[in-house]
Structure 1
Amino acid sequence: MSETIFEALRESHATQRSLVRKLQRSEPGPHRVELFTALRIELAAHEAAEERYLYVPMLMDDRGLHSSRDALADHHKMDDLIEEMQTRSHAGRSWTANLAKLSEELHDHLREEEKIFFQLAGKILNDTQKTSLAKKYRKDFAGHEKRLLAE
């Protein structure tokens, strides 16, 4: 059977969890900057592709409106934290406090998405949509990632 949108997203979620964990264990310096950059790029590429290829189809169905809006709001909160962390040195209490907030937001979002949102989406989307959206998500994610790495 072909990959579904949920499998593709879970793979990215695992990468995000791993990067946050490594970032929280890192010491200030070049390695921390590299980890933060990798997380920032992963989140940006994932969010853009996920919003297009999971949230938009879910917004088209009344049953998916509320959950999709909540998930979009979560993305915006994380984007704001990332932006704030980018403007500061990658050290200090304020930066690590924002990292803790980001980790909490991210883990809550991923848990809710995987435990509740994916089940709802599984009822709304048909099998053809699930596999076709996975292909579109992968392509869009790769394109965003490539552009962000080039910046």
Structure 2
Amino acid sequence: MPDTLYDALRESHAIQRSLSRRLVRSRPGTRARIEVFTELRHELQAHEAAEERFLYAPMLMDDQGLVSTRHALHEHHEIDELVEDLQKLDPDGDAWLDKARELSHQVHHHLREEETKFFQMSGKVLSPAQKTRLTTRYRRDYTRMHRKLAAE
């Protein structure tokens, strides 16, 4: 298991990157395309929910974290909208693939920005005790959300 909150988050980030790449490489008319999209959608939702609750919310309570946390939340919202757009499109059409590429690009951009900027800033704001508590809570909620989404 990851040792820190940032290790746990990076673990999910690696899954998101892999699924995003698989999604844009998937072939139209295959069950795999829908399965990868569903898996990515669930991963994004579980990760976002737990991250917003147990990293973003505490960062919003500190003046140093306001601007960057609002930006990260905005990017989560953009990703959610792209997922919703994809759900409305024909998965065999060109428009779907274009939107999948846009989603993949946005996911990769967000993760890169978070890992190179947000983690460093939040690492200075949160105390070691907070990071330990938040790690446990993030992992628990991330797992709970995955179970909830799989049952839907």
TM-score tier after normalising by the smaller chain length: over 0.9
Matched-pair identity in %: 53
Deviation at 1:3, TM superposition (A): 1.8
- SS of the equivalent of 2:92 reads coil
Separation in structure 2 between the aligned mates of residue 91 and residue 135 of structure 1, nearest angstrom: 40
Name the structure 2 match of 1:15. Answer: 15
Alignment of 1:67-78 (within 5 A): 67-78=68-79
Counterpart of 2:3, as a letter, is E
Q: Is the 8 Å Cα contact of residues 6 and 118 (structure 1) preserved in structure 2?
A: yes
Separation in structure 1 between the aligned mates of residue 46 and residue 118 of structure 2, nearest angstrom: 20
Separation in structure 2 between the aligned mates of residue 117 and residue 111 of structure 1, nearest angstrom: 10
Note the alpha carbon deviations across 1:96-115, whole angstroms, 9 max, x for none.
Answer: 11111111111110011000
Deviation at 1:61, TM superposition (A): 0.3
Higher relative contact order (CA 8 A, sep 6+): 1
Counterpart of 2:27, as a letter, is E
* Structure 2: stretches of 5+ with no match in the other structure: none
- SS of the equivalent of 1:90 reads coil
Q: Following TM superposition, where does structure 1 have runs of at least 4 consecutive aligned residues deviating by more than 3 angstroms? A: none
Separation in structure 2 between the aligned mates of residue 105 and residue 145 of structure 1, nearest angstrom: 22
Size of the alignment, in residue pairs? 150
Kindly report the root-mean-square deviation, in angstroms, between the aligned alpha carbons of the 2 structures: 0.9
Q: Is the 8 Å Cα contact of residues 49 and 140 (structure 1) preserved in structure 2?
A: yes
Deviation at 1:58, TM superposition (A): 0.4
- SS of the equivalent of 2:12 reads helix
- SS of the equivalent of 2:24 reads helix
Alignment of 1:1-151 (within 5 A): 3-28=3-28, 29-151=30-152
- SS of the equivalent of 2:27 reads coil
* Structure 1: stretches of 5+ with no match in the other structure: none
- SS of the equivalent of 1:147 reads helix
